[in-house]
Amino acid sequence: MKLENVIKADIAVIGGGAAGISAAIEAKKTAPELKVVIAERLDRTGKKILSTGNGRCNLSNRNLTREAYHGSVSNVMDIISKTQKTEDYFRSLGVLCVADEAGRIYPYSRSANSVLSALRMKLKTENIPEICGFEAVSIERRKNGITVLSADGRQINCRKLIAACGGYASPANGTDGKAIKMFRDMGVKTEKICPAIAPLRVSQEELKGLKGVRVHGRVTAFSGNTVLAEESGEIQFTENAISGICVFNLAWLFSEYEGKLSLSADLMPEMSLKQIERIIEETAEKRALFTLEELLNGIFVKNLAVYIVKKAVRRPLNDLISTLTKNEISEIAFLIKSMTFKVTGCSSWQNAQVTSGGIAGSEVDENLCMKKFCDIYLAGEILDVDGLCGGYNLEWAWSSGMMAGRCSAKELCKT
């Protein structure tokens, strides 16, 4: 191997995303004398950060609770509480933050670019090289260190390694799951992998006529007679999937209930079935001489209004509203309260924001050091942790990165 292709470091971080960058900065802060490098497979670090929060970067949440996280890493909240508060961390990097009414924290600039720029300025100030175009393809543990080989024949020799290579979601941002497979080949246990924070697929036939409709409501996920979870917010219908933040937050259930998961949408959650029936009866009286197509016009957007009546009444929509029976009115009201869809799949990795599953929590100790390989730490989405929409995933990335960075540096200082 040519000498210029061999990079030496005390700590090497593979994966230059949110977790990797915060790990490198924290390692250097803990032990400034150490040489810390970041190796990133893409031509620049932090590309995914730029896409977060629709370009505004929802970087954390003021209401951090255990319930917001799923997966087999049991000490998520412990790690979050033992690392610097994200708002203070970014303030220290010169990024002012604000929170919206739901507690979602954004940079004051509402620009993901300002978050990434601040992180990269810090890397520069701390002399942490960003080695781009370096795709780690194998990790070899030697007697006195680790060698990481890249796809293009370069190598990094280091004493501690932090793997922060992300999961499978959003492959355009460098994450195609190969790093998780690399660890699996090393005998590391992984938990079932599935897209999360993603639209849920339902049959195209059931969605006919709803494409493009957006409506506020409450979505309940259930399996058989068991209610699994409920979320409220905007529901969006596409040609073959149901989307919107409330559905994104239910997508993690798919991996556990594949084939048995259904969604029920309540399109008027603030009203009872009886109240809705009364409203429809009143409207039916006023519009008696118009066609069924016009019945719910004024309550829902046209396509949704037509869809509901068509599905509930099952007869020509050019029949007059005056012909509606009491039974049919009840059917319409019932459909508004519980429009049910069987989930047939989860959307593709391209449309998913997060990976459910990953390297099992049982593979790391409380400091995110691997139990099988004491010189390797893990951080971020590579681990089996996924959070709800609302800043929880980036919070995990920053906090777990800080924990891995701090603990790996502390370990080296001992030797």
Ligand X SMILES: Cc1cc2nc3c(=O)[nH]c(=O)nc-3n(C[C@H](O)[C@H](O)[C@H](O)COP(=O)(O)OP(=O)(O)OC[C@H]3O[C@@H](n4cnc5c(N)ncnc54)[C@H](O)[C@@H]3O)c2cc1C
| Out of 9, 10, 17, 305, the residue judged to bind ligand X by CB under 6 A | 17
Q: At what angle do helices 112-125 and 18-30 cross, to 10 degrees?
A: 30
- Asked if 19 touches ligand X (CB under 6 A), the answer is yes
**DSSP string over 372-389:** S-TTEEE-GGGBSEEE-T
CA 240 to mean position of chain CA atoms? 21
| Out of 11, 13, 14, 221, the residue judged to bind ligand X by CB under 6 A | 14
Stretches 119-127, 248-256, 295-303, 392-400: which one binds ligand X (CB under 6 A)?
392-400
Q: Are 393 and 197 in contact (CB under 8 A)?
A: yes
Residue owning tokens 């409380």 = 366
Helices (H), 258-325: 273-286, 302-313
- Asked if 58 touches ligand X (CB under 6 A), the answer is yes
The residue among 181, 70, 57 whose CA lies nearest residue 116 is 57
Shortest Å distance, C-beta 412 to ligand X: 21
- Identify the three-state secondary structure at position 27: helix
Q: Are 134 and 6 in contact (CB under 8 A)?
A: no
Q: Are 379 and 393 in contact (CB under 8 A)?
A: no
Q: Are 24 and 36 in contact (CB under 8 A)?
A: yes
Nearer to ligand X, 47 or 337 (CB): 47
| Out of 394, 402, 404, 407, the residue judged to bind ligand X by CB under 6 A | 394
| Out of 198, 397, 402, 407, the residue judged to bind ligand X by CB under 6 A | 397
CA 227 to mean position of chain CA atoms? 22
Count of chain residues binding ligand X (CB under 6 A): 39
Shortest Å distance, C-beta 153 to ligand X: 14
Nearer to ligand X, 40 or 294 (CB): 40
Shortest Å distance, C-beta 109 to ligand X: 14
Shortest Å distance, C-beta 401 to ligand X: 7
Nearer to ligand X, 7 or 165 (CB): 165
The two structure tokens encoding residue 383: 């681990």
- Asked if 404 touches ligand X (CB under 6 A), the answer is no
Output the 3-class SS for 161-192.
Answer: EEECCCCCCCHHHCCCCHHHHHHHHCCCCEEE
DSSP character at residue 364: B
Shortest Å distance, C-beta 314 to ligand X: 40
The angle subtended at Cα 76 by Cα 362 and Cα 221, nearest 5°, is 95
Site string for ligand X, 236-265 (x = CB under 6 A): ------------------------------
What part of residues 121-180 is at the interface with ligand X (CB under 6 A)? 134-136, 164-166, 169-170, 174-175, 178-179
Stretches 14-22, 90-98, 274-282, 319-327: which one binds ligand X (CB under 6 A)?
14-22
Q: For residue 386, what are the β-bridge partners?
A: 70
Site string for ligand X, 352-391 (x = CB under 6 A): -xx-------------------------xx---------x
Nearer to ligand X, 45 or 283 (CB): 45
**DSSP string over 4-21:** GGEEEEEEEEE--SHHHH
Residues 267-276 as b/e (b if ≥16 CB within 10 A, e otherwise) read: bbeebeeeeb
Give Dmax (Cα) for the chain.
Answer: 87
Shortest Å distance, C-beta 79 to ligand X: 13
Helices (H), 85-174: 86-92, 112-125
Shortest Å distance, C-beta 4 to ligand X: 19
Shortest Å distance, C-beta 43 to ligand X: 10
Site string for ligand X, 35-54 (x = CB under 6 A): ----xxxx----xx--xxx-
| Out of 10, 11, 12, 16, the residue judged to bind ligand X by CB under 6 A | 16
Nearer to ligand X, 179 or 284 (CB): 179
- Asked if 83 touches ligand X (CB under 6 A), the answer is no
Beta strand pairing call for 155-163 and 376-378: parallel
Nearer to ligand X, 80 or 309 (CB): 80
Contact set with ligand X (CB under 6 A): 14-20, 39-42, 47-48, 51-53, 57-58, 134-136, 164-166, 169-170, 174-175, 178-179, 353-354, 380-381, 391-394, 397
